[in-house]
Chain A
Amino acid sequence: MTAVQERQEQPGKSAEEERLEAELRREKQRKWFWRILGYIVVLGVWELSSGWVLEENLLPGPIRIIQTFPEIVATGRFFSSFGATLTRIIVGFGIALILGSAIGLLTQIKWFENFFRDFQTVGLTSPGLVWALVGLIIWGFQPMGWIFPIVMVTFALVSVNIAEGVRSLPKDLIDMAKAFGTPQHRRQREIVIPHLAPFIFTAVRFGFSIGWKVTVLTEVFSSNEGIGFEMRVSSQLFQLDVFFTWVLSFFVFALFLEKVVLQYFERRFFHWRQEVSTA
């Protein structure tokens, strides 16, 4: 909403415009105030609890973690572990995205929709832990051991979303294109894909967040690298400050992906929608 108003800004502003702008500014300030306060309160309670409620060894506070962070980075393991985990999720979720899209698109065919319907539900509801264990039992530390659980947990999310998009294809626009004799490939590119884009986006957003969890889980069980592995090692060695540093870095990274990377792409793809989320 704000983006559009900024674009149309003109030299002579009326009192009403200024009032509206001031109102929007205040709205934004209020939003940030509460958001930052959220951080202060949560981190504050955590810092205080460390030592008061639980021993500092059991629950290291945020200040301690910030101190530990450079130590981990210095070992060189920080980036290699993040890299390893990220590679896994990209490979695993990449496969799920391709597989899920194919299944989602195929649900246009009636028999396939019925044929596959309940397996989709199974994919959606089964817990990641089950697949992580199955992967470990069958493949051990081989790549399939982590690829399989990620794919199993996320592909249905993709296929369900794409199928939803396919079901709601805008018939009026497709008819319009047909009436004008627009070639098939242009129809696909200009109508079908833009229509499916938000569905794919939702799939990626949820798929990624669930994929993360499963990836880390598989690393805890069946890996000798990655964030999950680091968490396991540090907890086994009872280095809880290191453990929590990994946990927190993980949170920060997930937040960064969601709020910066995904939202950047969302704005780029959907700038035609005036109500892009301003969060």
Chain B
Amino acid sequence: MAHIKIANLRKEFGVGDDKVVALQNVNLDIEGHVFVSIVGPSGCGKSTLLNILSGIETPSSGTVDITQDRHDANPGYVFQAARLLPWRSVMDNLLFVQPDPDAPEARERCQRYLDMVHLGDKGDKFPGELSGGMQQRVGIARAFAVEPDVLFMDEPFSHLDAITARSLRRELHDMWQATGKTILFVTHDVGEAVELSSRILVFAKGGRLEDDITVDMPFPRDAADENVAVAKAHVLKKFEDLDLVAT
């Protein structure tokens, strides 16, 4: 089980007139087997938060701390853009981030997750030979294949067609249920957030955490279900109250 603690986090980019405050006054405690969605308008610091948690960016002030059972474990990260090595095959892209790429289990594991994203026969292709949505799915398989305790996902399904997205949402949900992972999931889609999450964080422009909603409904949640629709309306209402609706 993992425990993520964020205290008084602030992140600024640039200086003088170019200064942008991406995150401010963020305090969070995320523990154990939870699926946390992060929603908010474009530019409110969602990707920045994941980048800080994964160690790509450093905070301007405040602290983040991730403790895990396996102390040497690394989080998995599905980036907003696929970020694949163009000069390596799909399979080699997955192996690249494996702790021990030469182990036969590593290859098996990677193949299993490629199958999961319906790209089992594309292992030999180069990323440039795949469509944008397929590349995104390779990025998803890559993150799953390290079987991390903590998984960061930045709008992983936004470039996919509705049917593929639904199938992958189900896979993600099943995997989360089966493994007890901690998942931080950025999305623009409130419906998706309500369907999948145990907790929804609402960020506002300027990188403030505006709301922290616990979604306490049994899984699986069907978008057509009345309770789900009510919950979705509730979150959307918060968006409106906070004046977060994209204009």
- Please report A residues at the B interface, Cβ cutoff 8 Å: 4, 172-173, 175-182, 186, 190-191, 194, 272-274
On whether the beta carbons of B97 and A178 are closer than 8 Å, the reply is: no
> Do A180 and B128 touch (CB < 8 A)?
no
Query: What is the CA–CA distance of A175 and B77 in the complex, to the nearest angstrom?
Result: 11
Of the residues B74, B81, B85, B88, contact of A180 by C-beta under 8 Å = B74
Interface residues of B in 49-66 (CB under 8 A from A): 51, 54-56
8 smallest CB-CB distances across A and B, nearest first, come from: A181-B74, A180-B97, A179-B54, A176-B83, A194-B87, A175-B56, A179-B77, A272-B126
Q: List 23 A-B contacts (CB under 8 A).
A: A172-B81, A175-B56, A176-B77, A176-B79, A176-B83, A176-B97, A177-B97, A178-B55, A179-B55, A179-B56, A179-B152, A180-B76, A180-B146, A181-B74, A182-B96, A182-B97, A186-B96, A190-B85, A190-B88, A272-B87, A272-B88, A272-B126, A273-B128
What are the residues of chain B within 8 A of A172 when measuring CB–CB? 79, 81, 83
B132 within 8 A of A: no
Q: How far is the CA of A131 from the CA of B96 in the complex (A)?
A: 46
Q: Which of B51, B87, B128, B146 contacts A274 (CB 8 A)?
A: B128
Cα A169 to Cα B21 in complex, Å, equals 27
Instruction: Count chain B residues whose beta carbon lies closer than 8 angstroms to a beta carbon of A.
Output: 23
> Are B96 and A177 in contact, with the CB atoms below 8 A?
yes
B51 surroundings in chain A (CB, below 8 A): 175, 179
Complex CA gap A178/B55 in Å reads: 8
Give B contacts to A, CB under 8 Å. 51, 54-56, 74-77, 79, 81, 83, 85-88, 96-97, 101, 126, 128-129, 146, 152
Nearest-Cβ distance from residue A265 to partner chain B, whole angstroms: 15
Q: Total A-B pairs in contact (CB under 8 Å)? A: 51
Cα–Cα distance between A172 and B54 once the two chains are bound (Å): 13
Would you call B96 and A272 a contact (CB within 8 A)? no
B85:A191 contact, CB within 8 angstroms: yes
- CB-CB under 8 A from A273, the residues of chain B are 128
Closest to A273 in B: B128
Contact partners of A175 in chain B: CB under 8 A: 51, 56, 83
Nearest-Cβ distance from residue B122 to partner chain A, whole angstroms: 13
Chain A residues contacting B77 (CB-CB under 8 Å) are 176, 179-180
- In chain B, what residue has the closest Cβ to A195? B87
Are B129 and A274 in contact, with the CB atoms below 8 A? yes
Q: Which residue of B lies closest to A175 (CB)?
A: B56
**Does B85 contact A194, Cβ atoms closer than 8 Å?**
yes
Q: Identify which of B54, B83, B101 contacts A173 (C-beta below 8 A).
A: B83
| Besides A179-B51, A194-B85, 18 other A-B contacts (C-beta < 8 A) | A175-B51, A175-B56, A175-B83, A176-B77, A176-B79, A176-B83, A177-B97, A178-B56, A179-B77, A180-B76, A180-B146, A181-B74, A186-B96, A190-B85, A190-B88, A190-B96, A194-B88, A272-B87
The complex places the Cα of A175 from the Cα of B88 at a distance, in Å, of: 17
State A186–B92 Cα separation when bound (angstroms): 12
- Which interface residue of B83, B85, B87, B129 has the most chain A CB atoms within 10 A? B87
Minimum Cβ distance to chain B for residue A63 (Å): 48
Docked CA distance A173–B126 (Å): 16
Query: Is A272's CB under 8 angstroms from B86's CB?
Result: yes
On chain B, the residues within 8 Å of A180 by CB distance are 74, 76-77, 97, 146
